Amino acid sequence: MPESKSPLSAPAMPSMPPTKLRGFERISVPILEAANRRPQVRRALHATLGWTFSHVVAFVTGPRWRVFGVEQLQELAPAEGVILVANHRSFFDLFVASTVIKHRTRLMREVAYPVRAEFFYTHPLGVVINFAVAGATMWPPVFRDDRRRELNPIGFRQLSSTLGAGCIIGIHPEGTRNKGDDPYSYLPLKPGLGQLVATCAPGVAVVPVFVGGLSNKVGVEIGRSYGKTPRSQQPIRVWFGQPLRADALQTTADAAALTEQVFGHVRALGEADRAWLASQPG
C-alpha cells in the first residue's frame, strides 16, 4: 500500500502574489498562509482553538441534529482527504456539517473553509475572528473583484496541496448564501469546486451534503436548542450523500460541468429532506 502524503506536508504550495494584494490584505493573506503552511502551527491551532470551536458548535446546535447517511462515512478512510460540498443557506452550514463528521466519525483532524476576502481579509477584526473563533480554518480567501480569475485558482491550488489523510475542505459551490424563501432553490454555481477537484489527487473523496433548519444568528440557534419549543419541531437536518472518488469525476474536463455534476447530488439530498419534512407529523 503506497504511503499517503501528510495533509500538512504541502509540497510546493503556491503563494498569493504580493503585488496583487491590496491594503490590509498585504498583512492578512501572508499571516494566514503562514499559519496554514506550517505543520506545527496548523496542528496546534486545530487541536486547541479548532477543537474548542467544534464543541461550541455541537453544544449550540447538537441537541437538534437529525443526521442521515453518516454511516457511509464511518468506515471511509481516504488517504488523500475529503472535499465536503454543501448548499449554502446559513453562515453555519459547513461548520455544523464538519462538526457532525468530527463527532461521529474518525475522518477529520483538520479542516479548511475557503471564505470571501471581504472583511475576513480586508479588516483586522476579520483576522481576529478567523484565528480566535475558527482556528485559522477560514482559508484561503476567495476574491470577488477583478483579481478573481488570477488569484482564486492559486487559492484552489493551495487547498489541493494541503489535502491528505485527516484533512477536510468544505466548499459552497453557490459562492454566497441563498437568502430566498425557498430552501430547496439554489444560486448559480461557481466553477471553483470543479477547479479544485481537477487538481486534487485521484483518491480524494468528494462528499455531498445538504443542511437545513439553520438560521444566521447564534442567539436564535441557542433559543431553539434550549428554549421552550420542543427541539423536535425545529430540527437541524444534515444529509450526507454517497462519497464520490475524485478520479471518477476528473473524466469531466470542464470545471463548471464538473461542479454541476457534483452539486446534482446535493440537490437530490435536498429533495430527500423535503420529502422527509413532509412526512413528519404536524
Domains of the chain, with CATH numbers? 24-279 (3.40.1130)
6: pLDDT strictly greater than 80: no
Kind of pairing between the strands at 236-240 and 205-212: antiparallel
Please give the DSSP secondary-structure letter assigned to residue 13: -
Specify which residues 233 forms β-bridges with: none
- Residue 38: C-alpha distances to residues 7, 11, 13 (Å): 11, 11, 11
Mean pLDDT of the chain: 92
How much is the average pLDDT of 208-220? 97
Query: How much of the chain exceeds pLDDT 90, in percent?
Result: 78
Quick one: the chain helix, strand, coil %, rounded to 5? 45, 15, 40
144: pLDDT strictly greater than 50: yes
∠ CA 195-196-202, nearest 5°, is 115
pLDDT at position 174 is 97
What are the tens digits of pLDDT across the range 16-52? 999 999 999 999 999 999 999 887 788 889 889 888 9
pLDDT at position 10 is 40
Alpha helix positions (H), the chain: 25-37, 39-45, 51-61, 71-74, 93-104, 124-132, 148-162, 192-199, 218-226, 246-249, 255-279
Q: Which pTM does this prediction carry?
A: 0.91
Cβ-contact 78, 204 below 8 angstroms: yes
Kind of pairing between the strands at 141-142 and 236-240: unpaired
4: pLDDT strictly greater than 90: no
CB atoms within 10 A of CB 40: 8
